[in-house]
Amino acid sequence: MANLPGFLTEMGIEVEPIGMIGDGAEVTKAPLILTRGKEREVKIEDLVLVENLNGNWVLGVCRRGFGRSPGLRRDRYSPGRAYARMGMQPSEARESFDFTISIIGELTPNGIRQNKLIIAPRSRAYAFRKGSPLALLGGSLDIGYYKDHPSWVVPVRPEFIPYHMGVFCVTGWGKSSFVRCKIIPLLRHAGYGVLVFDWKGDDYVPYAEALGAEVLKLEQIACLPPDMGAVYIIKKANSFGFSAGSAILNNIEVALLEALEKITGQEEKGEEPQPRPFPTSGLTAEQIKTLLERAVLAKMEELIDKKYLELAERRFLARFRRLDARIFKLLTPAGKLKPEDVIEKARKGIVIIDLSGWEPEEKLTAFLSIASYVWQKMNVEKESINVAFVIDEAPQYCPYQPKGIQEQTTRMIEGLCALGRSYKLPIVIISQGLKGDIGINPAVRRNINTWFIGKVHPLDREEAQNMLPGVDIDFLQSLEVGHFYFYGNMCPSPVPLLIRFSIENCFKGQG
Ligand SMILES: Nc1ncnc2c1ncn2[C@@H]1O[C@H](COP(=O)(O)OP(=O)(O)OP(=O)(O)O)[C@@H](O)[C@H]1O
Ligand SMILES: [Mg+2]
CA of 211 to the centre of ligand 2 (A): 16
User: Which residue's CA is the closest to the ligand 1 atom numbered 29?
Assistant: 172
User: Which residue's CA is the closest to the ligand 1 atom numbered 14?
Assistant: 172
The region of weakest confidence among 207-211, 327-331, 415-419 is 327-331
Does residue 231 register a pLDDT over 90? no
pLDDT-based confidence at residue 279 (cuts at 50, 70, 90): very low
Identify the pLDDT of residue 121: 97
Nearest partner of 28 among 61, 54, 53, judged by Cα: 61
Closest atom, ligand 1, to C-alpha of 180: 18
Does residue 361 register a pLDDT over 90? no
pLDDT-based confidence at residue 490 (cuts at 50, 70, 90): very high
Q: Give me the residue spans of the domains in the chain.
A: 6-136, 161-222+336-445, 226-331
Taking residues 450-476, report their average pLDDT. Answer: 94
Q: pLDDT of 44-68, one tens digit each? A: 999 999 999 999 999 999 999 999 9
pLDDT-based confidence at residue 91 (cuts at 50, 70, 90): confident
Nearest partner of 139 among 162, 157, 123, judged by Cα: 157
Does residue 269 register a pLDDT over 60? no
CB atoms within 10 A of CB 386: 16
The region of weakest confidence among 131-140, 181-190, 346-355 is 131-140
Distance CA 336, CA 191 (A): 28
Does residue 280 register a pLDDT over 50? no
Ligand 1 contact, 3 CB (< 6 A): no
DSSP letter at 243 equals P
Which ligand is located closest to the Cα atom of residue 438? 1
472-478: Cβ within 8 A, 24+ apart:
472/44, 472/63, 472/64, 475/44, 475/45
Contact 156, 186 (CB under 8 A): yes
The region of weakest confidence among 37-46, 126-135, 136-145 is 136-145
Higher pLDDT, 299 or 168: 168
3-class secondary-structure state, position 484: strand
Outline where DSSP puts E strands in 337-443. 350-354, 387-391, 427-431
Distance CA 197, CA 195 (A): 7
What is the best residue among 197, 481, 498 to mutate for testing ligand 1's pocket, by most ligand atoms within 8 Å of CB?
Answer: 481
Ligand 1 contact, 173 CB (< 6 A): yes
Contact 142, 188 (CB under 8 A): no
- For 161-222+336-445, give the CATH class: alpha beta
Q: pLDDT of 373-405, one tens digit each? A: 999 999 999 999 999 999 999 999 999 999 988
CA of 182 to the centre of ligand 1 (A): 13
Taking residues 256-266, report their average pLDDT. Answer: 83
Distance CA 458, CA 462 (A): 8
Higher pLDDT, 232 or 406: 406
Distance of alpha carbon 85 from the chain centroid = 51
Ligand 1 contact, 206 CB (< 6 A): no
DSSP letter at 349 equals S
- In sequence order, the β-bridge partners of residue 153 are 145
Does residue 473 register a pLDDT over 60? yes
Distance CA 226, CA 299 (A): 15
Ligand 1 contact, 501 CB (< 6 A): yes
The rounded mean pLDDT for the chain is 90
Identify the pLDDT of residue 266: 65
Q: pLDDT of 196-230, one tens digit each? A: 999 999 999 999 999 999 999 998 887 777 887 88
Does residue 276 register a pLDDT over 60? no
Does residue 275 register a pLDDT over 50? no
Distance CA 284, CA 278 (A): 15
The region of weakest confidence among 286-290, 334-338, 445-449 is 334-338
Taking residues 438-456, report their average pLDDT. Answer: 96
Higher pLDDT, 416 or 6: 416
Distance CA 339, CA 389 (A): 13
Contact 146, 166 (CB under 8 A): no
Closest atom, ligand 1, to C-alpha of 483: 1
pLDDT-based confidence at residue 268 (cuts at 50, 70, 90): low
81-88: Cβ within 8 A, 24+ apart:
none
Identify the pLDDT of residue 371: 93
Ligand 1 contact, 433 CB (< 6 A): no
